[in-house]
Structure 1
Amino acid sequence: MTITAEKIYKALEQVMDPEIPVLNVLDLGMITSVKVGDGDAVLIKMIPTFSACPAVELIRQNIRTTVEKELGASVTVEIDKEAHWHSNRMGPAAKEKLKNFGIAPPQVYNGEAYSEILMHTACPHCNSKNTYLRSPFGSTLCRAIHYCRECGHVFEHFKPLE
């Protein structure tokens, strides 16, 4: 079997985020490059969503084992030190998956006042913007906690980051 970038990306669709199991590493925009080298050795470069993310090593391991299993290749996964992750790397489909999972997706962030963005977060349950920030710290570093005055849900918000 010839190993191609397309086959690698197809295998990566199976590598889910351990903290948000409806999103894979491609949905999150964590993969910066894939290369096939001599002897079908595969090099995958990735970036963590947050620099102190406790799941980075688990994700690296899951990438390596999944691609090796699917393609029968030797796989190396490196942290890409030339790139940094930002929430704008997530596409509309990933944001819709987050919303359907009950987590408010990050808004597009272009350097505007960060506190304003956090304060105006739509509820993923009823779409109301009549919400307020309860805590800038959620269950993980990448999330904040909000309360919806309309439907009464407490919900997490995936923080926007540039």
Structure 2
Amino acid sequence: MVTTTALEEELRRLAGSVPDPELPVLTLEDLGVLRAVHVRDADSVEVELTPTYTGCPAVEAMSTDIERVLHEHGIREVSVRTVLSPAWSTDDISDEGRRKLREFGIAPPRGGRPPGPVALDLGPTRTAADEQEPVRCPSCGSADTELLSRFSSTACKALRRCLSCREPFDHFKEL
């Protein structure tokens, strides 16, 4: 079992408070991309960060912002390491993050996946998420929504429209 020190917990809190560059309503902690903070010596820290998908363009901005915040708190050497395993999933978004997305007008990802192995069926391009509960409108709460585009302002969001209030909205896709 890996134990963390009080200093590592404090530095993780600071790094986790950094806003996501694409969704500034969320912190890196809310998004679930901050994996760990390790103090290497008195002036050296390594931060582990998992991108929402391989090649995510926001990782560089996240790393720069983490370095800035930790430098401002007296850490001389900060290295941010990208960790791809375990892969990030929308299940990593905290309940607080899901609440913030809804309040910001973005439908959060639906449900969560059950624990254990995920069954893989090769077939039509429908995802298992398409058969789950409906995507609710963040404005009026209606489940009567339609997909307009699989991609929206970022690759991790889809564009949908509420058929009740007619408002378009982003939906953070399930991964």
Q: TM-score, normalised by structure 2?
A: 0.84
Q: Which residue of 2 aligns with 1:131?
A: 145
TM-superposed deviation, 1:109: 3.5
Q: Secondary structure at the match of 1:132?
A: strand
Alpha-carbon separation, structure 2, partners of 1:73 and 1:101: 36
Moved over 6 A (4+): none
Write the deviation string for residues 100-143 of structure 1: whole angstroms up to 9, x where unpaired.
001000112325713324x8200001111010111111110100
Secondary structure at the residue paired with 1:63?
helix
Q: Structure 2: how far apart are the matches of 1:46 and 1:72?
A: 18
Q: Which residue of 2 aligns with 1:55?
A: 58
Q: Do 1:50 and 1:141's aligned partners in 2 also have CA atoms closer than 8 Å?
A: no
**Which amino acid counterpart does residue 152 of structure 1 have in structure 2?**
R
Q: Does 1:41 align with 2:20?
A: no
1:120 is aligned, of 113, 134, 146, to 134
Does 2:158 match 1:144?
Answer: yes
Tell me the CA shift for residue 55 of structure 1.
Answer: 1.1
Does 2:34 match 1:31? yes
Unaligned runs of 5+ in 1: none
CA distance in 1, matches of 2:148, 2:53: 21
Report % sequence identity: 36
Structure with the larger RCO, 1 or 2 (CA within 8 Å, 6+ apart): 1
Task: Tell me, yes or no, if the aligned pair for 1:14 and 1:66 is still in contact at 8 Å.
Answer: no
Q: How many residues align?
A: 159
Residue 115 and residue 52 in structure 1: after superposition, are their counterparts in 2 closer, same or farther (change >3 A)?
Answer: farther
Q: CA RMSD in A?
A: 1.9
Rounded Cα–Cα distance in structure 2 between residues aligned with 1:45 and 1:152: 41
Shift of 1:3: 7.5
Counterpart amino acid of residue 120 in structure 1: P
Q: Distance in 2 between matches of 1:22 and 1:6?
A: 23
Provide structure 2 residue ranges, at least 5 long, that are not aligned to the other structure. 119-126
Task: Name the SS of the counterpart of 1:33 in structure 2.
Answer: strand
SS at the partner of 1:57?
helix
* CA 1:3–1:37: 2 relative to 1, 3 Å: farther
Contact 2:28 2:34 in 1 (8 A): yes
Amino acid at match of 1:116: E
- Spell out, residue by residue over 1:33-70, the C-alpha distance to the aligned partner (whole angstroms, 9 max, x if none): 11111233111000011223211111111111111112
